[in-house]
A and B are shown apart, each in its own frame.
Chain A
Amino acid sequence: MRAVQEAVLAEMRRWGYRFVVTSTLESLEVFARGLGPEQLRRLFKLTDADGRLLAVVGERTIPVARLAAGQLRGAALPLRLCYSGPVLSNDGGRFASRRESQQVGAELIGAGGPVADAEVIALAVRCLDAAGLRRYQVDVGHAEFFQGLLDGLQLGPEVKARIKDALAARDLVQLEQVLAATPLRSAEHELLLRFPALRGGPEILDAAGELVRNRRSERALGELRRVFELLGTHGLGAAIQIDLGAIRDFDYYTGVIFEGFGPELGRPLAQGGRYDGLLARFGRPAPATGFVVHLDLVGEVLVRSEHPPALPRLDAAVAWSAPGLDAALRLGSSLRLFGMRAVVDTQPRAQAAARGWRDVVGARHLLHCTGAASVSWQPAGQRLRRLPPEQAVARLAGGRS
């Protein structure tokens, strides 16, 4: 898990994203500016000494947005920020699902338009790569496409709200019933019915483009087409699918949205999108887009894959018998200086006992110090040999790669 986290953060740093730390507790009021009632309900809440309501972070985009609008007010836009840490959410204990999960995220604040959208999606894909995933796909959609379809319907706000509710609940039976009860039969109507299945390659953009008759959806399709082209230039055509029927929090997202999936897991591994409205709520209006990678889920996929990642092994276990302690400590320091992972034993051991200890700590090499001048070392498949400490270091460092 830690290795995946580091790999993802390293990839983000390569793209120029700066690591920021946000606090674990925030005033509930801060989250209320960005989250809907259902998400607010899931936060773990507590009060401080003055009776103010606090919440444990359930996501970190909002704290990062507040940081960008607050402490980083003076920093020039666009800002590229990344973060990592646990988030807590009370999922109603439905299946006693995980309440604490680990996320790594990145936000590009102050840049609008397809170039920024494509950068963040490309970064997300590269992060999944860096995490060690080999089979995944990323679906790209647009929140405005759906809003445009709703606009295009000549229906009262009440019916539109019911359409939204049905979609938010992923209840397509309900959606069909609501639409069947309306007198209208427009292209938008038809598109809404087929909405969740509007998915495929770039050809789906043309198919949808011929049906929509409203500016908002048309503009969304145009942006998606551009983002798709740019992702091709980023070298990522193959992993990308267009999903016009993506159902997400439409009150939060304002533009291009995306999700990353692995084939073996029933939940998205990474999610993100454009949220141009959020920063204004903290007093610094700016376009913004970003994503999170769900580390626990990525870890699950990796562990179950055909080649699960090996636990990191030690390069050397340094054992010693009574007169060899000083040499062992110096040897450990030298090995680390050459970038190797080495542990020095905390108690004296004879050669045979030391072999057992090496297996327990899981090191590639066993070095045994019996005095100041010589180390015994048994390379794999060779006989035991004695050599001076500095030679042992040189041999190990040289043979490491």
Chain B
Amino acid sequence: MSVVTIALPTGNIQAPGLALLARAGVIHVTPQQLGRRLLVDSGGVRLVVVRPADVVAYVEHGAADLGIVGKDQLWESGRGQGIYELLDLRTNACRLVVAVPERSQLGGPETWPPTLRVATKYVRATAAYMESIGQAVELVHLHGSVELAPQVGLVDAISDLTETGNTLRENRLRVAAVIGESTTRLIANQVSLKTRAREVQDIVRRLRGAVESAD
């Protein structure tokens, strides 16, 4: 049996991810035990803790066999053919939405101007969506506090992830369109699926069981 490496992101996916891995009997580590460690080995499984945006890179290059990652990151990575999306882990459900200021004239896509200015961290997904509905956009790529941008007149709208809608409401924004729904996914390196087929498929089976028993 060779060691299977799983890439786990920091941030809000981590705790539910660890809980799921424990429930599936893959590896038992609590967030407290993990602490600030970036690498944990236990029972034939190695956990590597990386930034959410880096999970895809680790798995695509084969440094990790499996990865736990938000669907939003998969949209943004424009992943190539080196990665398989195996399982919907159903945690961290959220939506990528286009939001406009509450007082704005703008409503659904039919009310948008010929060219819409949008601020976002999710450039690829937003661009792909706008193209699919035939809307011309100017995208402003921001790295944080996207909610601020329309309030100071930088843009007409933002596109951002929202779980409960609270942050949007606090910033007096309302949803104008939904681009997509995201949950956490299990991804695998294409070669790991073949060279470590038995070990990897065993973990996939356990995780699938844990996800389905939660329903």
Q: Please report A residues at the B interface, Cβ cutoff 8 Å.
A: 91-92, 94-95, 137, 139, 169-174, 176, 196-197, 199, 241, 243, 247, 261-263, 265-268
Check if A172 sits within 8 Å of B194, measured CB to CB. no
- Given A94-B78, A197-B201, A261:B85 Cβ within 8 A: no
Q: Please report B residues at the A interface, Cβ cutoff 8 Å.
A: 57, 60-63, 77-88, 185, 189-195, 197, 201
Check if A268 sits within 8 Å of B84, measured CB to CB. no
| A366–B80 alpha-carbon span in the complex (Å) | 52
Q: When the two chains form the complex, which single residue of A92, A139, A176 contacts B194, counting CB atoms closer than 8 Å?
A: A139
Check if A263 sits within 8 Å of B193, measured CB to CB. no
User: Measured between C-beta atoms, what is the minimum distance from A84 to chain B in Å?
Assistant: 24
User: Measured between C-beta atoms, what is the minimum distance from B123 to chain A in Å?
Assistant: 13
- The residue in chain B whose Cβ has the minimal distance to the Cβ of A136 is B195
Check if B61 sits within 8 Å of A266, measured CB to CB. yes
Q: When the two chains form the complex, which single residue of A172, A199, A243 contacts B84, counting CB atoms closer than 8 Å?
A: A172
- The residue in chain A whose Cβ has the minimal distance to the Cβ of B62 is A266
Sample of 6 more A-B contacts, CB < 8 Å, known A94-B80, A261-B194, A262-B195: A95-B57, A95-B60, A137-B195, A170-B84, A263-B195, A266-B192
| A91–B61 alpha-carbon span in the complex (Å) | 14
Could you give 23 example pairs across A and B, Cβ below 8 Å?
A: A91-B80, A92-B78, A94-B79, A139-B194, A170-B81, A171-B85, A172-B85, A172-B87, A173-B87, A196-B84, A199-B194, A199-B197, A261-B191, A262-B195, A265-B62, A265-B191, A266-B61, A266-B63, A266-B192, A267-B82, A267-B191, A268-B190, A268-B191
Check if A261 sits within 8 Å of B81, measured CB to CB. no
Check if A94 sits within 8 Å of B87, measured CB to CB. no
Contacts of A171 in B (CB 8 A): 85
Q: When the two chains form the complex, which single residue of A139, A173, A196 contacts B88, counting CB atoms closer than 8 Å?
A: A173
Check if A266 sits within 8 Å of B80, measured CB to CB. no
| A368–B86 alpha-carbon span in the complex (Å) | 66
Contacts of A268 in B (CB 8 A): 190-191
| A362–B189 alpha-carbon span in the complex (Å) | 41
| A174–B187 alpha-carbon span in the complex (Å) | 13
- The residue in chain B whose Cβ has the minimal distance to the Cβ of A97 is B80
| A323–B78 alpha-carbon span in the complex (Å) | 68
Contacts of B189 in A (CB 8 A): 266
User: Measured between C-beta atoms, what is the minimum distance from B189 to chain A in Å?
Assistant: 5
- The residue in chain A whose Cβ has the minimal distance to the Cβ of B197 is A199
| A247–B193 alpha-carbon span in the complex (Å) | 12
User: Measured between C-beta atoms, what is the minimum distance from A293 to chain B in Å?
Assistant: 16
- Given A94-B80, A199-B197, A261-B195, A173:B86 Cβ within 8 A: yes
| A371–B189 alpha-carbon span in the complex (Å) | 64
User: Measured between C-beta atoms, what is the minimum distance from A104 to chain B in Å?
Assistant: 20
Of B62, B86, B192, most buried by chain A (CB within 10 Å of CB) is: B86
| A241–B87 alpha-carbon span in the complex (Å) | 25
User: Measured between C-beta atoms, what is the minimum distance from A82 to chain B in Å?
Assistant: 25
User: Measured between C-beta atoms, what is the minimum distance from A230 to chain B in Å?
Assistant: 22
| A170–B191 alpha-carbon span in the complex (Å) | 13
Q: When the two chains form the complex, which single residue of B57, B62, B88, B197 contacts A267, counting CB atoms closer than 8 Å?
A: B62
Check if B84 sits within 8 Å of A266, measured CB to CB. no
Check if B192 sits within 8 Å of A172, measured CB to CB. no
User: Measured between C-beta atoms, what is the minimum distance from B214 to chain A in Å?
Assistant: 16
Q: When the two chains form the complex, which single residue of B60, B79, B87, B201 contacts A266, counting CB atoms closer than 8 Å?
A: B60
Q: When the two chains form the complex, which single residue of A91, A174, A199, A262 contacts B85, counting CB atoms closer than 8 Å?
A: A174
Check if B80 sits within 8 Å of A243, measured CB to CB. no
- The residue in chain B whose Cβ has the minimal distance to the Cβ of A166 is B85
Contacts of A91 in B (CB 8 A): 80
Contacts of B82 in A (CB 8 A): 266-267
Contacts of B62 in A (CB 8 A): 265-267
- The residue in chain A whose Cβ has the minimal distance to the Cβ of B185 is A173
User: Measured between C-beta atoms, what is the minimum distance from A164 to chain B in Å?
Assistant: 14
User: Measured between C-beta atoms, what is the minimum distance from B175 to chain A in Å?
Assistant: 23
| A94–B88 alpha-carbon span in the complex (Å) | 24
Contacts of A199 in B (CB 8 A): 194, 197
Contacts of B185 in A (CB 8 A): 173
Contacts of A261 in B (CB 8 A): 191, 194-195
| A262–B196 alpha-carbon span in the complex (Å) | 11
Check if A94 sits within 8 Å of B77, measured CB to CB. yes
| A297–B185 alpha-carbon span in the complex (Å) | 29
| A95–B36 alpha-carbon span in the complex (Å) | 27
| A199–B194 alpha-carbon span in the complex (Å) | 8
- The residue in chain A whose Cβ has the minimal distance to the Cβ of B63 is A266
Check if B195 sits within 8 Å of A173, measured CB to CB. no
- The residue in chain A whose Cβ has the minimal distance to the Cβ of B189 is A266
Contacts of A139 in B (CB 8 A): 194
| A173–B186 alpha-carbon span in the complex (Å) | 9
| A95–B83 alpha-carbon span in the complex (Å) | 14
- Given A137-B195, A170-B85, A172-B85, A266:B190 Cβ within 8 A: yes
User: Measured between C-beta atoms, what is the minimum distance from B188 to chain A in Å?
Assistant: 9
Of A196, A243, A261, A266, most buried by chain B (CB within 10 Å of CB) is: A266
* A-B residue pairs, 7 tightest by C-beta: A266-B62, A170-B84, A171-B85, A173-B88, A266-B189, A263-B195, A266-B191
